Structures are given as structure tokens and as C-alpha cells.
């Protein structure tokens, strides 16, 4: 790669499955813009997050560190203001920097406006100190009209009539609502009459274009364009939703339609799987506490899959608008584009939806694409070795010609099969304590296997675990943890996991809000 700095467009979505991109085998909807980036660049087929929930995962992207190190052990735990930030490093190197869309390094539900993400919408787009975590421009949005964001303020001021069309996320107890909607009563679904031009996906794209147009052509820049979709609730514009008829949607491969077989698969997993399915345990705030997964019907699932695909299509179209603006500025040849998400969604696998302490591909296998600047003449490639979001920070500094910083825990993403040979495993962790239930998972993923070790908690004594063959059992329906023929492999992976685990930080950060 050349020593010349290059501009960086970093695109994230929220809670998007690997298999929602056409290039990754999607059977519902289409994503031609993202597919083109994949064909022109590098597509990673085994990318995994270091946490399967928003705040820890996004903090990993920013810091280049595992949650064990940066300290955001669950949603509602704020990333310390003095935490390392790759964006600060880029800014110090002369980059103009912006984050437009969803941030979520700090809690949403903090009503005393303790954090800048709770109040910056009231003071403009420039942080009081000139930058926040390295971002000199912040223009925030989240799902619909909730939260204290620039988008919600814009809606209130310009299109208040559109606000009631969004799904009401929190119920009267400030828990995630389980209210059903749409045509089948699916949880977190709503028919939204909003004009697509006023929807947050288009707003994020338009605000990104405006910021890019404010820059001089010769300036180097890093822009994190962060779409709030396709995270639930599923309430895209009704006009767009008509493009996919849910009745024509096939059930996902991971959804076992036979109830007896489905429950048998769950019974072979650690006990909290089936307990959540039955409605006898709520161990996380990431799904509606009052929703019982066993009540999910095939038609409800079809409608959710359809609306999720619509939201992915809208994101794809919005990215196309931004790429055209980049071309119009004459920047096409000097911009690296990286596309990914923070974690996946169960979306029917095992009869479950949303997310939680369940370390399977539905939540852990992520879309990840790097289209290097055309000026670099990098050959397109498909990388099957395991990589992680922890590798992104070092990738950004590599693009900028700065080099990996000593505090980063990941190497730059490999650009070809030769470089990828040193990428052998990825770590993912879960810690939570909410509703008087604590859960602790430690996972190692290789190219062929994924092993999860359960630490002692409310419902686990430290002996339970999961082991799956990704080649023989890609849907992770057969738990090999207690299979004697895999005893040696299990022992080796546990040893590898413990040897690779970062040294925990000395102070445990407080959870100050549920999300």
C-alpha cells in the first residue's frame, strides 16, 4: 500500500445479519450497492464481534480493544471519556472527523443529560471542547423519534405529524415494549406511514452528504456513517415496505418449524436458552421482557424478515446516494470504504428473535467488506479466516499511514489470502447483570469451530458450555460439549481461549442505565 493518506468512509448498520446481503446469500431483498463494493474489494466471510450487543461492540470498534480491556461490559455502561480512540489518533494526524447517525458509546436512557450524547442535540453539532472522542462533528440519530438526538429534534421541528407512525419502543414501565403490530401481531412491528424522505435512513445519508460537501477537496477525512436500522423495531416507511410481500418470504434456514425438534435442540444447549424460550427467564434488556419466544408464529417471522429486508434495501439505496456525492466531489479514487455492523439478530433461529447471551452465528457472523481506494489497485478477494471488529481500529490507522498503536489489540484486516493465514481465532464475550440475573460467556471462534465457556452465574455453575462444528453443523443445532469424541478438541480450545484472553482492567465500571 502507498504511504499517501486516504480518505475513509466507515459505514455501519445496527444489528444486521450476515445473510441479509445478496452477496452473502440473502434470499429476501437485494443490496446491489453493497454487493458492488464487495466485488471490487475484500469480503470477509468469518467476521465476528467482540460483543453481541451495541455499546460494548461499538466501543471495541472505537478503541481497538476487547470489552475486557475498555471496560464496557454491557449496555448501559458508558465508555470512559479518557478511553483510547482511533478517531482521536486520526484527528491528531490531520484528519477531519465526523460521526453521523447512531453513536451509542454512552447510555440513551440517562435523563439527567450526564453524557454529551444526551445533550449535544441542543447545542449544535460541534462538541463544546472542539471534539468528542476525536469527532469534531456529531450529528446523532437513533431508532425512530425516541431519544435526545439531532434527528428526533429535526422531526419535532419539521415533521411532527410523522412521529406517531413509529413503533413506541418503551412501555409505561420503561421496559422494551412487547406490543405486537403489523398484519400478524409480531412484536416490535408497526406499519409506518412516514414519507421515506423523512425516515432516519435517508436523514443520515443527507446529513453525511452535507458534511462532506462542507470540506475542501484536498482535505483528508474520516466519516463514520452509522445507520440505526435494521435494529428492531421494524417500522420502515409503508411505501417501501410494499416492495416485499411477507407472504412470499420463505422461513429462515435456522428456524426449525417442527416444535418438538426445535425444543429438543434448545434442551441440548445451556439451560438459559430453553428458559428464555419458555418465558421463565429474562436475562437481558435486549429484547422485550414480557415477550415469550415460544409464541412466535411462522407468519410473524415472515413479516419480520420482510420488513428487515426492506430496511436493508433502504440502507443500500442511501449508501448509493453518498457514493454518488463522493464521486461528484472527485474523490472516488482516494476513498477507502469499510462496511459492517455491530452484531447480528437471532431473527427466528431456534425459534428466537432479537439478541442476548447466545453466541451463535445469528449474532456473531457479521457482514464485513473493505473496498480499498481504487488508487491502490488492490485485487478483490474473499477472506474466510476469522477476523473481528477489534481489527478495525488498526485498519483505519493503516489506511491513514500511521501504523498500529500500542494500545490496539487487533492487527489490520488482511487484504489477501497470504496475509490472512495468521488469523486463527477471534474472541467474543458477554457479561450482564439485570433483572437479578447474571450471565457470563467467553467464546473462541476458529475457522472450523466455535466454543463457548460459561462462567458461574445465576443459572450456570461453570460446567456448561457449547461447542459447534461450523463445517458439519453451520446452523449450530448440535451441541458437542459433552460428546466424548470431541473431548480433546474441547480441552485444546479452552486452553487456547484462556491463553488468548486479555488481562482484565482493575476497575469494574458501573451500569448507569439499562441501555
The Cα–Cα gap between 205 and 448 comes to 38
Question: Would the pLDDT of 514 be above 60?
Answer: yes
Q: Percent of the chain beyond pLDDT 70?
A: 99
Determine the pLDDT at residue 148: 86
Instruction: Indicate left, alpha or beta for 347 from its phi (over 0: left) and psi (-120 to 50: alpha).
Output: left
pLDDT tens digits, one per residue of 342-367? 999 999 999 999 999 999 999 999 99
Residues 21/29, Cβ–Cβ less than 8 Å: no
Residue among 204, 284, 191, 199 nearest 241 (CA): 191
Determine the pLDDT at residue 1: 60
Q: Output the nine-digit C-alpha cell for 444.
A: 473462541
Band (pLDDT 50/70/90 cuts) for residue 387 is very high
The Cα–Cα gap between 313 and 323 comes to 15
Task: Count Cα atoms within 13 angstroms, Cβ side, for 201.
Answer: 25
Per-position b or e across 455-476, b if 16+ CB within 10 A of its CB = bebebbeeebbbbbebeeeebb
Residue among 434, 515, 435 nearest 143 (CA): 515
Pairing of strands 426-434, 180-181: unpaired
Q: What is the mean pLDDT of residues 393-400?
A: 98
Helix count (H) and strand count (E) of the chain? 15, 15
The Cα–Cα gap between 440 and 454 comes to 6
Question: Would the pLDDT of 511 be above 60?
Answer: yes
Determine the pLDDT at residue 171: 78
pLDDT tens digits, one per residue of 47-72? 999 999 999 999 999 999 999 999 99
| Mean pLDDT over the full length of the chain | 96
Domain ranges across the chain: 7-424
Determine the pLDDT at residue 425: 98
Determine the pLDDT at residue 172: 73
The Cα–Cα gap between 515 and 513 comes to 6
CA separation (Å) from 478 to 256, 261, 384, 429, 484? 13, 12, 22, 21, 14
pLDDT tens digits, one per residue of 462-498? 999 999 999 999 999 999 999 999 999 999 999 999 9
| 7-424: CATH architecture | 3-Layer(aba) Sandwich (3.40)
Q: Which of 52-56, 113-117, 370-374 is predicted with the least confidence, judged by mean pLDDT?
A: 113-117
Question: Would the pLDDT of 319 be above 70?
Answer: yes
Determine the pLDDT at residue 283: 86
State the alpha helices, DSSP H only, in 384-448.
392-399, 417-420
Q: Output the nine-digit C-alpha cell for 198.
A: 423523512
The Cα–Cα gap between 382 and 379 comes to 10
Determine the pLDDT at residue 3: 56
Q: What is the mean pLDDT of residues 441-461?
A: 97
Question: Would the pLDDT of 82 be above 70?
Answer: yes
Q: Which of 26-35, 43-52, 321-330, 506-515 is predicted with the least confidence, judged by mean pLDDT?
A: 506-515
Question: Would the pLDDT of 173 be above 80?
Answer: no
Determine the pLDDT at residue 147: 75
Determine the pLDDT at residue 513: 82
Q: What is the mean pLDDT of residues 114-136?
A: 95
Determine the pLDDT at residue 170: 81
Amino acid at each position: 500500500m502507498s504511504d499517501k493518506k486516504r480518505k475513509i468512509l466507515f459505514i455501519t448498520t445496527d444489528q444486521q445479519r450476515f445473510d441479509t446481503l445478496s452477496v452473502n446469500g440473502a434470499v429476501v431483498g437485494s443490496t446491489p450497492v453493497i454487493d458492488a463494493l464487495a466485488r471490487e474489494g475484500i469480503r470477509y466471510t468469518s467476521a465476528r464481534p467482540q460483543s453481541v450487543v451495541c455499546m460494548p461492540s461499538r466501543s471495541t470498534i472505537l478503541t481497538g480493544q476487547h470489552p475486557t480491556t475498555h471496560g464496557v461490559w454491557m449496555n448501559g455502561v458508558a465508555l470512559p471519556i479518557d478511553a483510547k480512540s482511533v478517531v482521536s489518533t486520526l484527528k491528531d494526524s490531520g484528519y477531519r472527523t465526523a460521526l453521523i447517525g447512531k453513536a451509542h458509546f454512552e447510555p440513551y436512557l440517562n435523563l439527567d443529560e450526564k453524557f454529551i450524547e444526551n445533550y449535544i442535540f441542543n447545542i449544535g453539532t460541534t462538541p463544546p471542547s472542539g471534539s468528542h472522542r476525536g469527532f469534531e462533528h456529531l450529528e446523532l440519530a437513533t431508532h425512530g423519534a425516541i431519544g435526545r438526538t439531532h434527528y428526533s429534534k429535526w422531526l419535532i421541528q419539521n415533521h411532527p405529524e410523522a412521529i406517531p407512525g413509529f413503533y413506541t419502543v418503551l412501555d409505561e414501565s420503561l421496559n422494551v415494549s412487547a406490543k405486537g403490530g403489523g398484519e400478524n401481531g409480531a412484536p416490535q412491528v408497526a406499519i409506518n406511514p412516514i414519507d421515506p424522505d423523512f425516515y432516519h435512513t435517508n436523514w443520515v445519508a443527507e446529513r453525511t452528504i452535507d458534511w462532506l460537501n462542507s470540506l475542501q477537496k484536498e482535505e483528508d477525512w474520516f466519516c463514520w456513517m452509522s445507520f440505526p436500522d435494521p435494529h428492531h423495531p421494524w417500522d420502515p416507511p409503508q411505501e417501501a415496505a410494499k416492495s416485499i410481500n411477507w407472504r412470499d418470504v420463505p422461513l429462515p434456514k435456522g428456524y426449525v418449524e417442527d416444535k418438538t425438534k426445535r425444543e429438543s435442540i434448545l434442551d441440548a444447549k445451556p439451560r438459559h436458552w430453553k428458559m428464555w424460550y419458555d418465558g421463565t427467564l429474562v436475562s437481558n434488556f435486549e429484547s422485550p421482557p414480557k415477550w415469550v419466544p415460544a409464541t412466535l408464529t411462522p407468519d410473524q417471522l415472515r413479516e419480520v424478515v420482510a420488513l428487515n429486508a426492506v430496511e436493508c434495501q433502504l440502507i443500500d439505496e442511501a449508501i448509493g446516494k453518498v457514493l454518488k456525492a463522493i464521486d461528484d466531489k472527485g474523490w472516488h479514487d482516494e476513498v477507502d470504504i469499510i462496511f459492517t455492523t455491530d452484531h447480528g439478530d437471532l431473527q427466528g433461529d431456534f425459534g428466537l428473535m432479537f439478541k442476548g447471551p447466545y453466541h451463535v452465528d445469528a449474532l456473531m457472523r457479521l457482514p464485513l467488506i473493505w473496498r480499498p481506494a481504487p488508487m491502490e489497485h488492490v485485487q478483490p478477494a474473499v477472506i474466510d479466516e476469522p477476523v473481528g471488529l477489534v481489527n478495525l481500529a488498526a485498519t483505519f490507522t493503516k489506511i491513514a499511514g500511521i501504523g498500529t498503536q500500542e494500545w490496539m489489540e487487533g492487527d489490520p484486516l488482511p487484504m489477501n489470502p497470504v496475509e490472512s493465514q495468521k488469523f486463527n481465532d477471534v474472541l467474543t464475550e458477554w457479561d450482564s447483570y439485570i433483572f437479578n440475573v447474571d450471565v457470563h460467556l467467553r467464546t473462541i471462534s476458529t475457522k472450523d469451530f466455535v466454543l463457548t465457556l460459561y462462567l458461574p452465574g445465576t443459572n450456570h455453575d461453570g460446567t456448561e458450555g457449547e461447542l459447534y462444528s461450523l463445517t458439519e453443523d453451520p446452523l449450530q443445532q448440535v451441541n458437542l460439549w459433552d460428546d466424548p469424541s470431541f473431548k480433546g478438541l474441547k480441552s485444546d480450545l479452552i486452553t487456547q481461549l484462556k491463553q488468548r484472553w486479555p488481562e482484565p482492567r482493575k476497575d469494574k465500571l458501573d451500569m448507569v442505565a439499562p441501555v
